[in-house]
């Protein structure tokens, strides 16, 4: 144990030196921004999802196409990993008798379970950590009530400092997911600067969404239709569905000058044994969206943690990919995951990741990425820059020059990993 602690300390020291000398000096947010005109931010989706533009990038070459062509542009027998999380109506508005409106934004569950998928199935009561608008107008011990049809939901401010809210409802037999579906609103990204409309209930959701729990859509998947999914299969590609519940942290702006000082948000992930086996046998792996990519890369590092440090919960902090030794092969790391599943007698891995991919990060699992065009100076720009290298600027300028639509409801890109 003494040797292990000394060995770990040396690794931490090595990391801190590298992080201070490389990340602090060269990874500046101002170097990863660009001019995004307001009129290039897509306010609404296209009438037909798969008719969006598709920018193709590989080995420094850029081509332009339509999203319907995606299956023809992929390497033979690719395996695509999709995030099947489902956006929940996480914004709940209660009106007091005085006329004041209190808005409660669901962040993460506390009880009866901290696991999102279990919490969404709760009946009769639940406790969540929330962001609360107009908190000062909500006196302690005042229970807020909202009724929609035969559904009644009540909110009790349990802890003002920690913004914990207890919910109860009638009928008690209905799940929390059913209750908020009837009483809540879809939380559109703040940069759209508009209220959610009826159409957003469908368009701000992937056609394959399944597990409720996200407060933002995995937007790369918004371009897929059943026809495109069928065509992928017809062309010999495979599809896998894993889950990362996108949290409100995805909207958190970067407010620091040095990228290394930004605090990444943690998000819950759910991965099946079938997913892990598919990684092990895949010839070419594609991530549909940055959330799928972060999940896949987190799996590698979890496998490394199991190899290096023994059995432990699935938890990847933002800095661990820079702390842990990266010499283990993808195969070895994934085989260790399968060994854990076999030992636990389980078909599912539940975990949390705050992985932070910045320029200099070496991707271990993903070969190509399908993603939208992201906000200037965001952690997602850093992720893309780490994936394609300095050509991220060329890619984004090309998209601007060719009138691509940006952000959540915008157009798409197919990016291949830069060669080391």
pLDDT digits (tens, 9 = 90+) for 300-336: 999 999 999 999 999 999 999 999 999 999 999 999 9
What is the pLDDT, as a whole number, of residue 2? 36
Q: Is the pLDDT of residue 78 over 70?
A: yes
Report the C-alpha gap between 106 and 116 in whole angstroms. 11
Tell the burial category of 363 from Cβ atoms under 10 Å away from its Cβ (0-12, 13-18, 19+).
Answer: buried
| Average of per-residue pLDDT across 357-374 | 96
DSSP 3-state of 155: strand
Name the token pair of 113.
Answer: 């379970």
Q: Could you tell me where in the chain the CATH 3.40.1780.10 domains are found?
A: 2-86+205-416
Tell the burial category of 38 from Cβ atoms under 10 Å away from its Cβ (0-12, 13-18, 19+).
Answer: exposed
Q: With beta carbons less than 8 A apart as the criterion, state whether 271 and 295 touch.
A: yes
Residue pLDDT, tens place only, 169-193: 999 999 999 999 999 999 999 899 9
Q: Is the pLDDT of residue 5 over 50?
A: no
Name the token pair of 25.
Answer: 């000096």
Name the token pair of 309.
Answer: 């440090």
CATH of segment(s) 90-185:
2.40.10
Report the C-alpha gap between 59 and 224 in whole angstroms. 25
What's the pLDDT band for 14 if we cut at 50, 70, 90?
very low
What is the pLDDT, as a whole number, of residue 8? 45
Q: Report residue 310: phi and psi, to 5°.
A: 85, -175
Q: With beta carbons less than 8 A apart as the criterion, state whether 84 and 209 touch.
A: yes
Q: Could you tell me where in the chain the CATH 2.40.10 domains are found?
A: 90-185
Q: Is the pLDDT of residue 20 over 70?
A: no
User: Can you say how many angstroms the Cα of residue 341 is from the centroid of all Cα atoms in its chain?
Assistant: 24
Q: Whose CA is closest to 372, among 342, 401, 409? A: 409
Torsion, Cα of 223, 227, 233, 235 (10° steps):
-90
The number of beta carbons lying within 10 Å of the beta carbon of residue 306 is: 17
List Cβ neighbours of 49 (8 Å cut-off, separation of 6 or more).
Answer: 67, 203, 207, 222, 223, 224, 225
Name the token pair of 334.
Answer: 């994934």
The CATH number of 2-86+205-416, from 3.40.50.720, 1.10.3210.10, 3.40.50.150, 3.40.1780.10, is: 3.40.1780.10
Q: Is the pLDDT of residue 139 over 80?
A: yes
pTM listed for this prediction = 0.91
| Average of per-residue pLDDT across 128-148 | 94
Residue pLDDT, tens place only, 236-256: 999 999 999 998 877 778 999
Would strands 314-316 and 238-244 be described as parallel, antiparallel, or unpaired? unpaired
Q: With beta carbons less than 8 A apart as the criterion, state whether 60 and 389 touch.
A: no
List Cβ neighbours of 387 (8 Å cut-off, separation of 6 or more).
Answer: 293, 357, 363, 366, 369, 415, 417, 418
DSSP 3-state of 78: strand
Name the token pair of 369.
Answer: 């990425």
Q: Report residue 344: phi and psi, to 5°.
A: -80, -10
If you average pLDDT over every residue of the chain, what do you get? Answer: 92
């Amino acid at each position: 144990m003494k040797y292990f602690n000394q060995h770990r300390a040396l690794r931490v020291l090595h990391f801190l030196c590298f992080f201070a000398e490389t990340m602090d000096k060269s990874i500046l947010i101002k170097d990863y921004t660009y001019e995004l005109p307001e009129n290039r931010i897509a306010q609404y989706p296209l009438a037909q999802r798969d008719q969006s533009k598709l920018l193709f990038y590989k080995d420094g070459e850029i081509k332009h196409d339509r999203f319907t062509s995606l299956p023809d542009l992929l390497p033979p027998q690719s395996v695509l990993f999709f995030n099947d999380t489902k956006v929940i109506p996480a914004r709940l508005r209660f009106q007091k008798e005085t006329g004041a409106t209190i808005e409660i934004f669901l962040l993460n569950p506390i009880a009866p379970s901290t696991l999102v998928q279990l919490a969404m199935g709760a009946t009769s009561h639940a406790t969540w950590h929330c962001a609360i608008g107009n908190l000062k107008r909500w006196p302690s011990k005042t229970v807020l009530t909202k009724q929609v049809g035969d559904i009644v939901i009540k909110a009790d401010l349990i802890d003002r400092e920690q913004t914990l809210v207890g919910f109860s409802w009638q009928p008690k037999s209905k799940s929390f997911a059913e209750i908020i579906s009837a009483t809540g609103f879809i939380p559109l990204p703040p940069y759209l600067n508009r209220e959610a409309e009826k159409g957003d209930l469908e368009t701000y959701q992937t056609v394959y969404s399944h597990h409720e729990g996200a407060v933002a859509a995995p937007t790369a998947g918004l371009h897929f239709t059943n026809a495109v999914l069928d065509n992928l299969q017809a062309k010999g590609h495979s599809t896998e569905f894993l889950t990362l519940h996108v949290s409100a942290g995805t909207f958190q702006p970067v407010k620091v000058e040095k990228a290394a000082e930004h605090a990444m948000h943690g998000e819950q992930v759910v991965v099946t044994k079938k997913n892990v086996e598919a990684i092990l046998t895949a010839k070419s792996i594609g991530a549909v969206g940055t959330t799928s990519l972060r999940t896949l890369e987190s799996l590698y590092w979890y496998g490394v943690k199991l190899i290096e440090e023994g059995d432990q919960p699935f938890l990847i902090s933002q800095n661990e990919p820079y702390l842990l030794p990266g010499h283990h092969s993808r195969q070895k790391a994934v085989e260790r995951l399968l060994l854990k599943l076999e030992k636990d007698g389980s078909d599912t891995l539940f975990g949390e990741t705050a992985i932070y991919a910045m320029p200099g990060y070496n991707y271990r699992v993903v070969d190509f990425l399908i993603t939208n065009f992201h906000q200037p100076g965001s952690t997602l720009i850093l992720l893309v820059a780490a994936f394609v290298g300095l050509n991220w600027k060329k890619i984004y300028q090309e998209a601007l020059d060719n009138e691509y639509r940006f952000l959540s409801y915008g157009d798409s890109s197919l990016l291949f990993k830069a060669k080391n």
